[in-house]
Amino acid sequence: MANKVLVTGGLGYIGSHTVVELINSGFEVIIIDDLSNSHVETLDSIEKITSVRPIYGNLNICNLDDLLEFTSAHSNIDAVIHFAAYKAVGESVDEPIKYYRNNLNSLLNIMTMMEGLSKKNLVFSSSCSVYGEPKSIPVNEQTPVEPAESPYANTKLICEDICKDFFRNIDGSCTLLRYFNPIGAHKTALIGELPLGPPSNLVPVITQTAIGKRDKMMVFGDDYDTPDGSCVRDYIHVVDIAIAHVCAVKRLIAGKEKTKVETFNLGTGNGVTVLEMINSFEKVSGEKLNYEIAPRRPGDVSAIYADVKYATEELKWTADRSLDETVLSAWKWELYLQQQNN
Ligand SMILES: NC(=O)c1ccc[n+]([C@@H]2O[C@H](COP(=O)([O-])OP(=O)(O)OC[C@H]3O[C@@H](n4cnc5c(N)ncnc54)[C@H](O)[C@@H]3O)[C@@H](O)[C@H]2O)c1
The 10s digit of each residue's pLDDT in 93-112 is 999 999 999 999 999 999 99
- Cβ 118 under 6 angstroms from ligand 1: no
Asked whether residue 286 is domain-assigned, the answer is no
Residue 215 resides in a domain: no
Residue with the nearest Cα to atom 2 of ligand 1? Answer: 182
In a domain, 22, yes or no: yes
Domain assignment of residue 282, yes or no: no
pLDDT value of position 118: 95
H-helix or E-strand containing 8?
strand 4-8
**Gyration radius from the chain CA atoms:** 19
* Domain total in the chain: 1
The torsion defined by the Cα of 72, 46, 183 and 209, in degrees rounded to 10, comes to -130
Query: What pLDDT is stored for residue 121 in this prediction?
Result: 98
In a domain, 273, yes or no: no
- Residue 86 Cα to ligand 1 middle (Å): 6
Residues 167 and 261 sit within 8 Å (Cβ to Cβ): yes
Give the residues across from 243 on adjacent strands.
Answer: none
Q: How far is the CA of 12 from the centre of ligand 1 (A)?
A: 6
In this structure, of 126-130, 165-169, 171-175, 197-201, the range with the lowest mean pLDDT score is: 197-201
For residue 192, being part of any structural domain is answered with no
Which domain does 245 fall in, by range? Answer: 4-185+236-267
Task: Report the CATH number that the domain containing residue 85 is assigned in CATH.
Answer: 3.40.50.720
pTM of the model: 0.97
